[in-house]
Amino acid sequence: MNDSWITGLHQELLELRGDGPGWGNRRGGSAYVEPTCLAALALAASPLAAAGKSQAAVREAADWLADLQQPSGALGISPDLPQPRWTTTLGVLVWSAAGAAGPARNKAVEWLLASRGNTWTPEVAEPFGHDPRIAGWPWVEGTHSWLEPTAMAVLALSRAGRKEHERTRDGRRLIRDRVIRGGGWNYGNSTVFGADLRPHPAPTGLALLALAETDEADSPIITQSCAYLERTLPTTRAPQSLCFGILALTAWGRRPDAADNWLFAAHAGAVRRSNSIAELAYLLLAAGPDALEVLGIERPVLSGSTGP
Domains of the chain: 4-294 (1.50.10.20)
DSSP readout, the chain? Answer: --THHHHHHHHHHHHHTTTSSS--SSTTPPP-HHHHHHHHHHHHHSTTTTSHHHHHHHHHHHHHHHHH--TTS---SBTTB----TTHHHHHHHHHHTT--SHHHHHHHHHHHH---B--PPPTT-SB-S-TTS----SSTTSB--HHHHHHHHHHHHHTT-TTSHHHHHHHHHHHHT--TTS---SS-SEETTEEPPP-HHHHHHHHHHTTTTSBTTSHHHHHHHHHHHHHGGG---HHHHHHHHHHHHHTT---TTHHHHHHHHHHHHTTSTT-HHHHHHHHHHH-TTHHHHTT--SPPPTT-B--
Burial bucket for residue 218 (CB in 10 Å: 0-12, 13-18, 19+)? exposed
Average pLDDT rounded to a whole number, residues 181-200: 88
Taking only the tens place, the pLDDT of each residue in 106-117 is 999 999 999 999
Residue 304 — pLDDT band, cuts 50, 70, 90? very low
User: Which of 68, 58, 89, 251 lies closest to 162, judged by CA?
Assistant: 89
Residue-level pLDDT at 273: 73
Q: 70-79, 137-146, 187-196 — which is least confidently predicted?
A: 187-196
Q: Are 237 and 269 in contact (CB under 8 A)?
A: yes
Residue-averaged pLDDT of the chain: 92
Residue-level pLDDT at 293: 95
Residue 197 — pLDDT band, cuts 50, 70, 90? confident
Taking only the tens place, the pLDDT of each residue in 94-108 is 999 999 879 999 999
Phi and psi of 246, rounded to 5°?
-65, -45
Residue-level pLDDT at 269: 83
* pLDDT above 60: residue 305: no
Output the pTM of the full model.
0.94
Burial bucket for residue 247 (CB in 10 Å: 0-12, 13-18, 19+)? buried
Q: 60-64, 174-178, 218-222, 301-305 — which is least confidently predicted?
A: 301-305
Residue predicted with more confidence, 28 or 254: 254
Taking only the tens place, the pLDDT of each residue in 200-249 is 999 999 999 999 989 999 999 999 999 999 999 999 999 999 999 999 99
Residue 154 — pLDDT band, cuts 50, 70, 90? very high
Residue-level pLDDT at 36: 98
Average pLDDT rounded to a whole number, residues 125-142: 88
Residue 274 — pLDDT band, cuts 50, 70, 90? low
